[in-house]
Structure 1
Amino acid sequence: TIVADTELMMTLAKVLQKWLPDGKRLRPVEVVKEYEKTIVDELDLTREAANGMQLGRNFEGSEALYVPTIYSDYCRANVLVMERIYGIPISNIEALIAQNTNLRILAERGVEVFFTQVFRDSFFHADMHPGNIFVSREHPENPQYIAIDFGIVGTLNQEDKRYLAENFIAFFNRDYRKVAQLHADSGWVPSDTNIDEFEVAIRTVCEPIFQKPLAEISFGNVLVQLFNTARRFNMVVQPQLVLLQKTLLYVEGLGRQLYPQLDLWQTAKPFLENWLREQIGVKAMFTKVKANLPFWSEKLPEMPDLLYDTLKQVKRFPEKQQQANLALLQQHARAQKALHFSIVGATLVIVSAIVPLYDVHWTVPACIGLTGMMCWFAAWWKGRKAPE
């Protein structure tokens, strides 16, 4: 059923991409391919088990999120066996209030868990709707999430993570110029985009939502305005970010439901700033050097030979360059000769066709035509001859 449905979706996506004015920018074919990969993977419960175990390792010992134990020995492609959990559905606000759950901490931890998964681990639960999220009954004053259903997870590469983090921080700091420039640098908008106009458009959409609690922010309205801005500036849809955008909307919905006064910006900003410092600061440099030391120590004995070979190649480079230039000149000369022979041959053939109109012996046009054919053959021969 899923294969049939995705084939139909792909057919429609190809039609839309070809005929819709925004088809190329919205990239519906790539989006459907990403969706197909996600939903087909979701059918394999051994993959879901592996996702759950990975997420559990990432949050082992965490006070914010608990991941049930997966019993992999009993899992198959169509069977998933995991620890039974006892919790309150995140949508049951009455039960959470009845046990005196600290909803402010719970809402803030939801934001922290999301950004930790995305930026620290680059491995996030991408199906965080209320049916998959529970709250532990233990320690309501220090509440802990419990997550299930790991069929859909998302990942981001290092470049996308860095651009996203810098965009978020610039957004939180109301540095709309940097947001616009980052979009151009990442290729999300065309390189010839007018940055000044793009900055003004982003400010117009984003400025009204600052310094407001979550309850007063209409994310639906903000998204509509952002989509209109994207259309105006030919912003290309990024299929690898679709899952992330969907998950962020889930997190926003949970936060609004739990604690409408949540300051989403102040909760997320310190985390992102700390992550960026770890990625691009002095500490990050030493961490990367330390991680690469085993590789470098393995390759170090080869360095003298590599250096010698490189210097030898550099020394021979002018000679090779001269040989290449000479070969190019010879090839050009052959092409010129071939062109000359072709012109002469064509002229002689035309003359051989005209001469019989006059009172001459048949051998004259025959000789002229034969000479023209020989010129053509010479042109072909010189043209096919490979450079030395």
Structure 2
Amino acid sequence: MTKYSRLYKVLAIFKAYQLGELLPEHRLSVKFKAGLACLFWVRAKAKHEPIGERLRLALQELGPIWIKFGQMLSTRRDILPADVANQLTLLQDDVVPFDGKLAKTLIEEALGKPLEDIFFDFDLTPLASASIAQVHAAKMKSSKADVVIKIRRPDILPSIKADIELMYFVAEQLSVWFKDAGKLRATEVVQDYERTIYKELNFVQEAENTRRLRSNFINSEILYIPYVYPEFSRETLLVEERVWGIPISDMEQLRQHNVDFKLLAERGVQAFFTQVFRDNFFHADMHPGNIFVDVTNPQDPRYIGIDCAVVGELTKEDQRYLAKNFMAFFNRDYRKIAELYIDSGWVAEDTDIDAFEAAMHDVCEPVFAKPLGEISFAQVLFSLFHVARQFNMQVQPQLILLEKTLFYIEGLGRQLYPQLDLWVTAKPFLESWYKEQTSIKYMVKQVVNNGPAWVELLPELPNRINQQERANRLLKSKLDQLSLQLYTSQKKQRNQFYLLIGTVVIIAVLLFIVI
């Protein structure tokens, strides 16, 4: 399937489900709808269903990448009508499953042996069916432990490849349609997403991600990650401990168990900042379908995280700048925010810092005038990036997963506890983290950790110093040569200039005498 045939399919599905009514009133929308009208042979589908259900069905028909887009949208109840958000929530566990017998065959092909040699009580009816894979329950033959077996959907790669080709095509066209599109680094963003989606398709990588996240939260009171069986990990197969909990989206059942919603919402924020700043390794696909709640003690609830295929890591520099940025924002220090954007290289050094600070102030100050329950921290961060782009900030691909995850976390937190005060929850954590990063203890720890490297370097230090001195002498010699060449060139230019002036003067004198 080529990108052009895929583009046709996207447009045809858009028309079939009458999604044009989602578009805002704009002249481009009018032209787009007129273009869709040309596809007169495309028959309408679900035309008597509400727009939310039609959107869900369209995304589901388009496939994995589009389903994931819908999953992210489903958490944004502050910007979506409730009926649309409710329908998109179904994308997390209500994707049409493929046949259980085919799943069994695929599992056996991946293992290279009959399923009954390792498992028993395999359930042909899937526990869940998602965009990339579906999950079946079983028991380990050796230990009788309950497990889930995750098997990748068959024939999924061609559809994903076609969608990615289409994304590249659109990214390239952006530079033609919009003069400022280069600042978005659209092609680089697509490349980043391509790497992400292919990592998500590799369940060996997911197994390793799960192991790392689990080790980071062993005995944690806020987050539990299930055990994965590495000996059964394959590119298309994952086997892990089965966990029991209430889906985070099942608000009614959580209420029936008398769960402390305020504490649960705050722990979601704590889990996010702990992963980002303490561990520098965070679950980056925390939509409601991947999060459950352990209600063993409803007044001390704990999150259960699954599907660790998509994770994020930041550089130490990005980590520090983000922490400082968040703290400056909490303190309403807009000058500091502007300085950080420049120091980090996110905007150019020659940016007018006074104008930049004023723009940040104009965006943030109205936010603090609102009641805390109405403030969207994720939306503020998005607005800050938007302002920075007006000052030629380039989109930072390494921050895209972080921004998306923050949208998830805040969306879930607001759904659980609308009065969630993100500032009160996050600020002490960030202040503590930053204080630790600048403490004597941390510096000593870094020196100790780097001790082996220093031990290896010390014997080579005299040679490296000599090499550096030789390099400096060579550089000085070259600079002297360049300086001499520049002086000679300038002297030659001066002589030519004086000769030209002299010639002009002589000609003027001769003309005067002749006249």
TM-score range, shorter chain: 0.7 to 0.9
Higher mean displacement: 212-221 or 227-236: 212-221
How much has 1:8 moved relative to structure 2?
Answer: 1.6
Residues 17 and 29, structure 1, Cα contact 8 Å, conserved in 2: no
Out of 285, 297, 307, the position equivalent to 1:149 is 307
Q: TM-score, normalised by structure 2?
A: 0.59
Q: Distance in 1 between matches of 2:227 and 2:424?
A: 33
Cα displacement (A) at 1:9? 1.0
Fraction of identical pairs, as percent: 55
Quick one: which of 213, 221, 238 aligns to 1:80?
Answer: 238
Instruction: Report which stretch shifted further, 117-126 or 14-23.
Output: 14-23
Change (3 A) 1:214 1:17: farther
**Does the alignment pair 1:100 with 2:100?**
no
Distance 1:144 1:170, change over 3 A: same
Unaligned segments of structure 2, at least 5 residues = 1-158, 489-515
**SS of the residue 2:273 aligns to:** helix
Q: Which residue of 2 aligns with 1:204?
A: 362
The residue that corresponds to 2:451 in the other structure is 293
Correspondence for 1:53: 211
Residues 76 and 192 of structure 1: CA distance in aligned 2, closer, same or farther (over 3 Å) = same
Q: Give, in angstroms, the shift of residue 313 of structure 1.
A: 4.3
Of 307, 310, 316, the residue aligned with 1:158 is 316
CA root-mean-square deviation = 3.0
What is the CA distance between 1:310 and its match in structure 2? 5.7
Q: Which residue of 1 aligns with 2:435?
A: 277
Change in CA separation of 1:2 and 1:214 when aligned onto 2, cut-off 3 Å: farther
- Counterpart for residue 62 of structure 1: 220
Unaligned runs of 5+ in 1: 334-388
The question of 1:113 aligning with 2:266 is answered no
Corresponding residue for residue 328 of structure 2? 170
Cα 1:27/1:298, change in 2 over 3 Å: closer
CA contact (8 A) 2:223 2:302 kept: yes
Please report how far the alpha carbon of residue 207 of structure 1 lies from its aligned counterpart in structure 2 after TM superposition: 1.9
Q: CA deviation at 1:88?
A: 0.5
- For 2:356 and 2:365, the matched residues in 1 are separated by 14
Q: Secondary structure at the match of 2:297?
A: coil
Counterpart-to-counterpart distance in 1, 2:174 and 2:214: 41
1:262 equivalent to 2:417? Answer no
Find the aligned partners of 2:409 and 2:468 in 1 and give their Cα distance. 56
2:249 matched residue in structure 1: 91
**DSSP 3-state at the match of 2:304:** strand
Amino acid at match of 1:249: F
Aligned partner of 1:38 among 173, 191, 196: 196
| CA deviation map 1:166-217 (0-9, x unaligned) | 0000000110110011111112222222111211211121123237555312
Give the CA deviation at 1:2. Answer: 1.0
Contact 1:180 1:195 in 2 (8 A): yes
**Shift in CA distance, 211/259, structure 1 to aligned 2, threshold 3 Å:** farther
1:375 corresponds to: none
Q: How far has the Cα of 1:230 moved from its partner? A: 3.4
Question: In the TM superposition, what whole-angstrom CA distance separates every residue of 1:68-103 from its partner, at most 9, and x where no partner exists?
Answer: 000111121111111111001111122112112111
Match of 1:385 in 2: none
Q: Distance in 2 between matches of 1:63 and 1:105?
A: 11
2:414 alignment partner AA: R
Paired residue type of 2:443: M
- Aligned to 2:246, the other structure's residue is in SS state strand
Cα 1:279–1:329, aligned 2, differ >3 Å: closer, same or farther?
A: same
In structure 2, the residue corresponding to 1:145 is in which secondary structure? strand
Q: 1:311 to 1:135 in 2, by over 3 A?
A: closer
1:297-330 CA-partner distances (Å, limit 9, x unpaired) = 34334445655x469849x949x95699579979
| Higher normalized helix content (fraction of residues) | 1
Counterpart position of 2:163? 5
Structure 1 residues 214 and 70: alpha-carbon distance in aligned structure 2, compared to 1, 3 A threshold: farther
Q: How many Å apart are 1:281 and its aligned residue?
A: 2.7
Say whether the 8 Å CA contact 1:278–1:284 is kept in structure 2: yes
Output the TM-score relative to the length of structure 1.
Answer: 0.78
Does residue 241 of structure 1 match 2:399? yes
Aligned mate of 2:348, from 190, 214, 219: 190
Identify which of structures 1 and 2 has the higher relative contact order when contacts are C-alpha pairs closer than 8 Å and 6+ apart: 1
Tell me, yes or no, if the aligned pair for 1:214 and 1:260 is still in contact at 8 Å: no
In the alignment, residue 90 of structure 1 is paired with which amino acid?
I
With over 3 angstroms needed to count, the CA separation of the structure-2 counterparts of 1:214 and 1:259, relative to structure 1, is farther
The CA distance in 1 between the partners of 2:390 and 2:366, in whole Å, is 20
CA distance in 2, matches of 1:156, 1:58: 16
* In structure 2, C-alpha distance between the alignment counterparts of 1:101 and 1:281, rounded to whole Å: 38
CA distance in 1, matches of 2:478, 2:297: 79
Alpha-carbon separation, structure 1, partners of 2:360 and 2:482: 55
Q: Indicate the residue corresponding to 1:338 in structure 2.
A: none
Q: Secondary structure at the match of 2:388?
A: helix
CA contact (8 A) 1:45 1:80 kept: yes
- The count of aligned residue pairs is 333
| Whole-Å separation in 2 of the counterparts to 1:34 and 1:231 | 20
